[in-house]
Amino acid sequence: MPESPVPAALAEPSPVAAGRHRAGRLAATMLGLTLLAAGAAACSSGGGSGDQKSGGDSTAAAAPTGIQVPGRIASLTKGGETPGVKAFEGLPKSVARNLHYVDYADPADNLGRYVSIQGGPGLPIPAEGSPDVISRLFSEWNVGAASTKVAKVSAGPVSGLAECGPHGTTGKDFECGWVSGKVALVMSFTGFKEDEVKALVPKILAAMVTS
């Protein structure tokens, strides 16, 4: 893959994004978390099934098994990526090596519009806490957004539960989470409007999630 034109400032995850997640990674070292059970995605803020199907399709999507990191997703261009064993140093290497922590920018040279994405198969989620699995996901991996009020958004052709909520007061920062079985992602959007976030989440999931 050719070198991304994303500027050097995105060669490492942004300081803001890194600050959001550092506390969650350290907390994972201290807490005796159990890996998300296969049925954990059944929890949602509405108390219904965590698996949602796009457009009312009655055919269930294949169960996700992993994550890939393409160079481009829609208008997003891949920037810096921290190896899982470094980004998730509090987890066993057998788990961390399958996880990802990557930034995407839109456009490639715009530091004001980017998405930080972390997670993958086996990302631990607390078994106790909020009845909403996305809120529990945030409580470990995006502690700054743990109190964010989230609502369901489309996961597109990918199975599982996707939820997003506004973060801060700018109206252009959003936190999103997705869980399906034992695979989970946290997506932090900076500089995007709500309708843009809702449009990008299913595209990100379709491009990154493997079955």
Distance of alpha carbon 204 from alpha carbon 114, whole angstroms: 13
The pLDDT of residue 60 is 60
Looking at the domain assignment, is residue 1 inside a domain?
A: no
Looking at the domain assignment, is residue 187 inside a domain?
A: yes
Looking at the domain assignment, is residue 3 inside a domain?
A: no
Contacts (Cβ under 8 Å, ≥6 apart) of 160 = 41, 50, 51, 52, 64, 178, 179, 180, 181, 183, 205
The pLDDT of residue 143 is 85
> Residue ranges of the chain with pLDDT lower than 70?
1-61
The pLDDT of residue 3 is 42
Domain enclosing residue 199, as ranges: 8-210
DSSP 3-state of 76: strand
15-30 and 133-141 helices cross at what angle (nearest 10)?
A: 100
Looking at the domain assignment, is residue 165 inside a domain?
A: yes
Distance of alpha carbon 56 from alpha carbon 68, whole angstroms: 26
The pLDDT of residue 147 is 76
The pLDDT of residue 138 is 94
The pLDDT of residue 7 is 42
Whether the ω angle into residue 107 lies within 30 degrees of 0, i.e. cis, is: yes
Distance of alpha carbon 167 from alpha carbon 190, whole angstroms: 9
Looking at the domain assignment, is residue 2 inside a domain?
A: no
Looking at the domain assignment, is residue 123 inside a domain?
A: yes
> What's the number of domains the chain is made of?
1
The pLDDT of residue 178 is 98
Output the pTM of the full model: 0.73
